[in-house]
Amino acid sequence: MSHTPTTTLALGTLALCALSLTGCATLSDSMHNQVSGHADSRADLASPPAWMPADATDITSVTGTAAKDDADAPETVVFTSADGVSAQGCDTVPRTSAPVMTVPEAPDAYAAKTVVRCGAWSLASEEDRWVAWTPNTGDGAS
């Protein structure tokens, strides 16, 4: 099979496109001062939050990277759970905060009148899809 310059150029362009597509999420994260991750289930997480239900699946997180201290970094987590959040130490309060970081297909936190507050985290749901965020300034946490 002979290779013409056009064939070589086309193959090179195709390879470059494939390579660039694999780096899109990383490039997008860097440009938006955030890092994102995904886990299929709670069991796949190295250290899941105590408030996350055992049946949590399809877990996506976005964490801001522009904070000077990692402890101050805003984070949003979206997951599916039929069991819902019922962790010890959580209570229901009026919602006055909202997620800083955006996760596609997250429930609309602004539609929630109340949230489940678990320490520094606030959570709201639409049916079995949950959105959790920190900081939750105004929802009764510091």
Please state, rounded to an integer, the average pLDDT across all residues of the chain. Answer: 79
* DSSP assignment string, 56-92: -EEEEEEEE--SSSGGG--EEEEEE-SS----TT-EE
| Burial (0-12, 13-18, 19+ Cβ within 10 Å), 59 | buried
Render pLDDT for 67-115 as a digit per residue (tens, 0 to 9): 666 667 899 999 999 999 988 889 999 999 999 898 988 999 999 999 9
Q: Which residue, 65, 85, 84, is CA-closest to 75?
A: 65
Mean pLDDT of 40-46: 96
* SS3 state at 38: strand
Backbone angles phi, psi at 7, to 5 degrees: -65, -45
Mean pLDDT of 41-69: 91
